[in-house]
């Protein structure tokens, strides 16, 4: 069974090209993608992740307002008891001169990984597969310990 991934552009952002490319790359690598499209609310991401029993939520934003759009997002996932890998990528902040600062901001919010708009989709997919493999190994160890 293919890994289910939720993908979308958060907030009022209407940039669709990036997630279309990412969707195609994910599907070519064997992922089952639910593409929520553009102008997706936090609640829509949470509902889709829960409904589809997703293993990952990938958030895109190119218009520079992701800091405002994502405030409280990982907490909403936790409150809904949705335990997924969370990624965000794109042009995340207006005047994003220091990506390390932007990355730190989103990591502090609770995102597992943060990518800039120049990231090759294959690099993001490799990271996602590694994170999912690690999570799967940790789950297996917990099951063995509990038994």
| 13 assigned to active site | yes
User: Known catalytic residue: 32?
Assistant: no
Angle at 45 between CA 79 and CA 54, to 5 degrees: 85
Please state, in angstroms and rounded to a whole number, the distance separating the CA atoms of residues 130 and 96.
27
Q: How far apart are CA 31 and CA 58, in angstroms?
A: 12
- Can you say how many angstroms the Cα of residue 109 is from the centroid of all Cα atoms in its chain? 13
Contacts of 127 (CB under 8 A, 6+ apart): 87, 113
Catalytic residue among 15, 32, 65, 131: 15
- Angle (nearest 5°) at CA 131 between 92 and 76: 55
How far is 5 from 34, CA to CA, in rounded Å?
6
Q: Which residues are catalytic?
A: 13, 15
């Amino acid at each position: 069974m293919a890994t289910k991934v939720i993908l979308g552009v958060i907030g009022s952002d209407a940039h669709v090209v990036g997630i279309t490319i990412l969707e195609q790359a994910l599907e070519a690598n064997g992922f089952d993608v639910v593409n929520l499209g553009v102008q997706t609310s936090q609640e829509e991401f949470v509902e889709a992740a829960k409904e589809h029993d997703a293993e990952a939520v990938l958030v895109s934003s190119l218009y520079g307002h992701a800091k405002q759009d994502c405030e409280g997002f990982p907490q909403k996932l936790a409150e809904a008891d949705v335990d997924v890998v969370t990624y965000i990528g794109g042009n995340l902040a207006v005047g994003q001169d220091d990506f390390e600062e932007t990355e730190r901001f989103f990591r502090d919010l609770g995102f597992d990984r943060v990518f800039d708009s120049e990231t090759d989709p294959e690099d993001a997919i490799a990271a996602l597969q590694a994170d999912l493999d690690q999570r799967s190994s940790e789950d297996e160890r917990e099951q063995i310990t509990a038994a």
